[in-house]
Amino acid sequence: MTTTTLPRLAVTAGEPAGVGPELLARLAATELPADLVAITDRDLLRRAAILCGLDLDIIDDDGTRIASRPAGRVRVHHVPLGADVHFGRPDPRNAQHVLDLLRVAADGCMTGDFDAVVTGPVQKSSINEGGVAFSGHTEFFAERTGAEVVMMLASPELRVTLATTHLPLSAVPAAVTPALIERTLRIVAGALTSLFGLAHPRIAVLGLNPHAGEGGHMGREEIDSIIPLLERLRGEGMDLIGPLPADTAFVPAMRERYDAVLAMYHDQALPVLKSEAFDRTVNVTLGLPFIRTSVDHGTALDLAGTGQADPASLFAATRLAIDLARHRGHP
C-alpha cells in the first residue's frame, strides 16, 4: 500500500448460511475508502445482494492496487461452496469452504497481497460437525502463522484484552499462570504502540478473584503470583495498574487512568463492553504478523436470509482496519 492507493482489505463472508454474506453486500454498498476484496462464493454474494435490495457491481479480483472505489463496487476472490446454502441452516458440508476463506485471507496478508483481513462471523459448531476441530478465528490465525496472539475487543471508549479466551470457567485458574500473564502483557503493550500509536501505553490488570482476592480471603492468586509479576514488570518500565477488582475497574474515574484492560477470562469483562457498545465493538487479534479485525457478534441464523441484519459492527471493524492499515502503511 502507498499513500496514493487504497488499503486492500480481504473481507471474509464467514458462515454462508448466516448473516455474513448479507453484511458483506451492505459493506460493498458503502463509500468506505478501501479496496474491498470479498472472500466468498461469487454467486452467494450476488444472492445476498438481491436479498438486501442492492445492485452491486461484483467483479473478479485481479490483484492490482487501485486508488479509488465507487460505492457499490466490490472485487471478489471466488471460493466455491461445498453444498447449496439454505439461510439459517448451516451445513457441515460447507465447513471446508469456511476454513478456505480464512486460509485465503491469512495467506494473502502474509504475502502482502492484502493489507488487512476483516472477518465475518462463523458457526463453530457446524465446522466441528464437519470433522474439523475449530475453536475460533483467533486460534485459527495463530496456528496458521505460528504467532502468539491476544484477543482484544475495542470500542471507541474502551479496549479489553483477554488472558484466556474460549475456555470453560473451571479451567481458567490453572491456565492463568504468571508466564501467560507476562506473555499477554508484552504482546498487548507492543500492539498498543505499533498498531494504535501509543508511545507509553497504560494497562489495567484485573484480578482473578472477586475483589482481586481481598487480601487473600477470596483467593491467593493475586498475592502469590499476579502482584509479584506486575511489580517485576513495572521495574522494567511497563505502566501497569492493578490487580483491580473487576466490579469497579470500569467506572469512569478508573477508565481515565488506562488505555486498555487485561481481563483474566472471557466473561469477566466482555459483558461490560458489549452492554454499552455492542454495535460498535470490534474484535482485533494482537500479535499476528498482519492486521485482523472482526465483527463482535455471531451468525444470527434467525435473521439470515431476511436482509434485515444490522451491519454496524462490520462497518466498525472495517473502519478500524482501514485506520490501522493506514497507520502501518506510512513510513
Is 297 annotated in some ligand binding site? no
Write the single-letter amino acid at 76: V
CA atoms within 13 A on the CB side of 312: 7
Q: Are 304 and 85 in contact (CB under 8 A)?
A: no
Check whether 292 is labelled as a binding-site residue. Answer: yes
Backbone angles phi, psi at 17, to 5 degrees: -90, 0
d(C-alpha 295, C-alpha 119), whole Å: 7
Identify the CA nearest to 315 among candidates 103, 6, 34. 34
Beta-carbon contacts of 214 under 8 Å, excluding residues fewer than 6 positions away, are none
Annotation-wise, does 86 bind a ligand? no
- List Cα–Cα distances, 100 to 18, 76, 95, 116, in angstroms: 17, 14, 9, 17
Alpha carbon distance 148, 178 (integer Å) = 16
CA 152 distance to own-chain centroid? 7
User: Cα(221)–Cα(228) distance, rounded to whole angstroms?
Assistant: 10
- Give the DSSP H/E element, type plus range, for residue 38: strand 35-40
* Alpha carbons 136 and 288: distance in angstroms, whole number: 15
Q: Answer yes or no: are the C-beta atoms of 174 and 300 closer than 8 Å.
A: no
- The answer to whether 139 touches 239, Cβ cutoff 8 Å, is no
Known binding residue 274? Answer is yes
CA distance 174 to 26: 43
Residue 234 labeled ligand binder: no
What is the rounded distance in angstroms from the CA atom of residue 195 to the CA atom of residue 322? 12
Enumerate the known binding-site residues.
137-138, 166, 211, 266, 274, 283, 292
Enumerate the known binding-site residues for substrate.
137-138, 274, 283, 292
Enumerate the known binding-site residues for a divalent metal cation.
166, 211, 266
